[in-house]
Structure 1
Amino acid sequence: MLEWRRKVNTWITICDTCKREGWDAARDAQTDGEALAALIEAAAEGRGEVRTRRVSCTMGCERACNVVVQAEGKIGYSLGKFTPDAVSAQAIVDYAGLHAASETGQVPFREWPQGVKGHFVSRQVPPPVDTEA
C-alpha cells in the first residue's frame, strides 16, 4: 500500500535589500538583492517544487546577495556572496530543486551545482516536532 505524504515545497527566501560593495544609489536603479531576486524568480518559474519569496534583510550584510533555502521538516541553509547574475540564480534554483528532492534537505556535495560551492554560510536544523498539547 502506498503511503500518502503531504507535498512540501522548498522555499528560496531572497534578501531584496542586499547591496554589494560598491553599490551606489545614485547610479544603481535597484539593489543587488532586487536584481538577484528577479533572476531567481525567473529561473524558478515552472518549478513546482521550488517557491520563491522576497524579504527585506536577512541580516547578512557583510555577505551581500543572501538567500535561504528551506522547507518544513528539513535542514535549511543560508548562502551568500552571490553575484546578481543569471548563472548564480540558476545554480541557486538547481540546488533548491535538489533540496526539494531530498527527504532531509541534505544534498551530497558531489551533486551541488558549481555555482553554489563556496557560498554556504550556515545550516539550520528544523525545530523538533512539538507533540505536547
Structure 2
Amino acid sequence: MATWITICDTCKREGHPGPAEGADLPGARLAALVEQAAEGTPLRTRRIACLMGCDHGCNVAVQARAKLCYTLGRFDPTPEAAQAIVAWGLLHAESASGQVPYKLWPAPVKGHFVTRHPPLPEEE
C-alpha cells in the first residue's frame, strides 16, 4: 500500500508577480524539490494542476488507502520544506492509521496542516 504525496504544481504564493507558467511557479518549484527529496524512498509523488487551496499555496496532500489523509500548505518552495514534507510522509507511511504523533513532526511542517480527511469506508 503506497503513500502518495500529491503536489499542486500551479500554486502561487501571495504577492507572486503576475501570471507565470511552468517551472516559474512556486508550486512547480516545490514539486521538483519534493520529487527530488523522495527519490530512493518508498513514497510515490505526483503532480496535479490544482488542489483548490489557493489561500494556502503551496499545497501538498499526503494520502494512502485506509489511512487518514492530510493537506498541508503555506510552504515556501525550499529544500528544507521539501525534505520535511518527505520526512513527514515517511512517518505517515509507517503509521497504521496515518496519524503521526506531534512530537515526531519535523519542525518545518508544524503550522502547515490545513485539513485532515478520514479514510473512505471499505464497504459501499
If the TM-score is normalised by the length of the shorter chain, which range does it land in? over 0.9
The count of corresponding residues between Structure 1 and Structure 2 is 123
Which sections of structure 2, spanning at least 5 residues, go unmatched? Answer: none
Render the CA deviation track for 1:31-62: whole Å, top value 9, x for unaligned.
Answer: 000000000000000002x1100000100001
The alpha carbon displacement at 1:20 in A equals: 0.3
Q: Which one has a larger percent helix, Structure 1 or Structure 2?
A: 2
Give, in whole Å, the separation in 2 of the partners of 1:34 and 1:70: 20
Kindly report the root-mean-square deviation, in angstroms, between the aligned alpha carbons of the 2 structures. Answer: 1.5
Which sections of structure 1, spanning at least 5 residues, go unmatched? Answer: 1-7
Question: Partner residue of 1:95?
Answer: 88
Match of 1:56 among 49, 53, 60: 49
- Corresponding letter in the other structure for 2:5: I
1:110 equivalent to 2:103? Answer yes
Structure 1-normalised TM-score?
Answer: 0.88
Describe the shift of the 1:103–1:30 C-alpha distance in structure 2 as closer, same or farther (beyond 3 A).
same
The alpha carbon displacement at 1:72 in A equals: 0.5
Structure 2-normalised TM-score?
Answer: 0.94
1:1-133 map, 5 Å: 8-25=1-18, 30-48=24-42, 50-130=43-123
Render the CA deviation track for 1:57-101: whole Å, top value 9, x for unaligned.
Answer: 100001110000010010000000000000000000000000000
Give, in whole Å, the separation in 2 of the partners of 1:64 and 1:33: 7
Identity across matched positions, percent:
56
Give, in whole Å, the separation in 2 of the partners of 1:65 and 1:19: 7
| Structure of higher CA gyration radius | 1
The alpha carbon displacement at 1:24 in A equals: 2.2
